[in-house]
Structure 1
Amino acid sequence: MAADKKAYPLRISATVLEAMQRWADDELRSVNAQIEYVLREALQKSGRLKQGKVKPLTDDETR
């Protein structure tokens, strides 16, 4: 795990997890990377995370 990453336990419904797994598979990402991608997109869209404040995921982190 990279130094700037923190582990965080997540409780998620089975239905949502299955949908995230399908989406992650379609995007060739792990479920973890897909969840982080979706969270980043939502944070940027809402103005709560400015672009450039967090380094982009690398290919290794998205797969």
Structure 2
Amino acid sequence: MAEKKAYPLRINAEVLDAIQRWADDELRSLNAQIEYVLRDALRKNGRMKKAEDSNDDDTSS
């Protein structure tokens, strides 16, 4: 498993609420949903190689 690093995130309350609802719908934690969305954006924009992307469906966070 890749090393996890803590990062404080300031985020608009409306955005956070929307991400929380989405996470609930997908049965993920809020943290896992944020990471999923970031990984998806990185992959779609060619910023992340497939090897680094091996556990993006991990819902245990």
TM-score by length of 1: 0.84
1:55 aligns with 2:54: yes
Match of 1:16 in 2: 15
Question: Matched residues in 2 for 1:36 and 1:24: separation?
Answer: 11
Question: Matched residues in 2 for 1:54 and 1:17: separation?
Answer: 24
Tell me how far 1:55 sits from its aligned partner.
Answer: 3.4
Partner of 1:19: helix, strand, or coil? Answer: helix
Question: Matched residues in 2 for 1:23 and 1:59: separation?
Answer: 13
Match of 1:39 in 2: 38
CA RMSD of aligned residues (A): 1.7
Structure 1: runs of 5+ lacking an equivalent: none
Does the 8 Å contact 2:39/2:53 carry over to 1? no
Letter in 1 for 2:15: V
Structure 2: runs of 5+ lacking an equivalent: none
Percent identity of paired positions between Structure 1 and Structure 2: 63
TM-score by length of 2: 0.86
